[in-house]
Structures are given as C-alpha cells and as structure tokens.
Amino acid sequence: MVVQAVAARYASRIRPAEQDQDGGALTPRELEVLRLIADGLSNSEIAATLVISQETVKTYVSRILTKLDLRDRVQAVVYAYRRGLVT
C-alpha cells in the first residue's frame, strides 16, 4: 500500500516512457507481471502467484523494463499507474 501511495503521489512528476504509450508492446503475461510489480510484490511473491520460477520473473521484469525504456521497478510502477493498468 505504501508503494501505491508513493507511486500515485509522484506519477505526474515522472516523464512517461516515449515508446508505447498504452503498454501494447507488452505481451499479456508481461502486463500481468507489470501489474503485480505495481502491486508491490517481490520477484519471489510474483513467482509464487504465477507458479513460475524466480528466474522467469527476472526475465519478464528485464523485458518489461527494456520494452518500455524504463530504468527500474519504481519507474515501472509509475508507468503502470499513469497508464491505468492498476488502480
């Protein structure tokens, strides 16, 4: 909940990713992982939720950050909130 509050508070201050403005470049599974990141879950929690390995989660996170031209998970959370992928 803290992550959500902080992300919502600062979302308007961070520039949006310039590539795909609606997340359409992401696969459905990558969108699912992005939503879980935005919910504040760790890699191990995401792995348990999706019944996949932590290495697979790391791969998804890396692909998400690369596709959206984001530096880190914080920017991914902000991106998800700004695009309305989470509420």
| Mean pLDDT for all residues in the chain | 85
- φ/ψ bin of 84: left (φ > 0), alpha (ψ from -120 to 50), beta (otherwise): left
Query: What pLDDT does 59 receive?
Result: 98
How many of the other CB atoms lie within 10 Å of CB of 43? 19
Q: What's 7-71 look like in SS3? A: HHHHHHHCCCCCCCCCCCCCCHHHHHHHHHHHCCCCHHHHHHHHCCCHHHHHHHHHHHHHHCCCC
Q: Which residues of the chain fall short of a pLDDT of 50?
A: 17-21
Query: What pLDDT does 87 receive?
Result: 79
Query: What pLDDT does 48 receive?
Result: 98
Whole-model pTM?
A: 0.74
